[in-house]
Amino acid sequence: MLPSKLPFRRPPFGERLRGELGRPVRARTLGSSPRSRVWRAELSGSPVVIKQLVEGPGADERYAREVAALRLASRVRPPVVPALLGTDPDARVLVLEHLEHRPPAEDWIVGYATALARLHAATTSVTVPHGVLDGDLPDWAGPTGADVDSFLGLAQALGVPVPAGVRVELDALVDRLTGTPGHALLHGDPCPGNDMHTADGVRFIDFEQAALGHGIVELAYLRIGFPTCWCATAPAAPLLTAAETAYRTAWRAATGTEVQGDLTDACAGWLLRGDALVQRAHRGTTDQLARIPHDDWRWGTATARQRLAHRLGVVAGAIADTEGITDLGGLGRLATDLRAALLTLPHRLKGRGWGYLPRPSRAVGERPQPSIGPLPARRP
């Protein structure tokens, strides 16, 4: 980690990239994590952002995904990502356009949804050259049979009877979500904090988990409560409707087609995934749903049980609203009963209504951004 007390330091890219961009005069550390380091620098007097993915498991893959996604998304106009100004693959470094972030409006999820649709559409246009999607971006990975086993195991642990045919419903759901490849450019982690609110609209950053799939699985984030994010929130119904309508309108304008996939299926898919109850570093380490009857833990704005209660309610309500259309009637009844059983467990949040997520206001809908004011004067 770079010492934070140093006001500036030579950025970590090699001579090839240095020659392409012009020699950087100074840089300041903006932040670091176990996965990446970020600097603000000046190149020939212009501000840029330098990001390095640090050594560790999957670092090369995460770097390749981010570079590929930024290049694909660069076709979208007006832009939905910062411009990629240079790369140094050996050092896993990206040099990006510097963006001026503004506090989001109260209805920020509407602009967010519009930008998300335009991002997803970047790889679905007929103008995308043949073969451009090959290589660095994998297909989106949905829930698996193991997730179904874990979910049904939770019902057994809570003493909730599983309606006949639910296993068949869930196996078919998994097949629907993963059986047909999609070509939308998925962010992979479209969370508050990975969106920059600028004077020209929302732009997305941090594409280390980017993939190709159906955009509906990320549109579902708004309804299911940002399942992979520290900031689990739930908008009021009118705002949610406005955001989902904005997404579908922007998608239609960009592609000339209607949004494919079923939003109820997408929400149910996130419900099955116990790993969407913990931070990325803890995913794949244990059966998270098996912990729920005996443990609760807080991550960001909500606890695991609070997140799960919200998802169960969303899925139960969506299935009830589409009765006779969806093939998930048994899951709807199970979700209702599971939520009722979950709300009887001890919890870490006091007061009534603990099973509901906070509204996506500016207070909880935006991770604080680092200060990126002017760099200090150059030392003599």
Q: Which residues of the chain are under the pLDDT cut of 70?
A: 1-34, 125-135, 324-325, 347-354, 361-380
List, for residues 28-84, the tens digit of each pLDDT value.
666 656 678 888 888 777 889 999 988 778 899 999 999 999 999 999 999 999 999
Q: For residues 68 and 45, what is the distance between their CA atoms, to the nearest angstrom?
A: 28
Q: What is the pLDDT of residues 183-218, one digit of tens each?
A: 999 999 999 889 999 988 999 999 999 999 999 999
Note if the pTM is more than 0.95: no
> CA–CA separation, 180 vs 174, rounded Å?
11
Buried b (16+ CB within 10 A) or exposed e, 251-274: beebbeeebebbbbbbbbbbbbbb
Instruction: Give the residue among 226, 211, 139 at the shortest CA–CA distance from 181.
Output: 139
Task: For Cα atoms 260, 366, 195, give the angle at the middle one, nearest 5 degrees.
Answer: 45
Q: Name the residue among 229, 280, 300 with its Cα closest to residue 57.
A: 280
pLDDT confidence of residue 380: 35
The C-alpha atoms of residue 267 and residue 269 are separated, in whole angstroms, by 5
Give me the pLDDT at residue 354, please. 66
CB 342 within 8 A of CB 292: yes
- CA–CA separation, 25 vs 99, rounded Å? 19
Hey, which residues does 301 pair with through a beta bridge?
A: none
CA geometry: angle 22, 14, 58, nearest 5 deg: 130
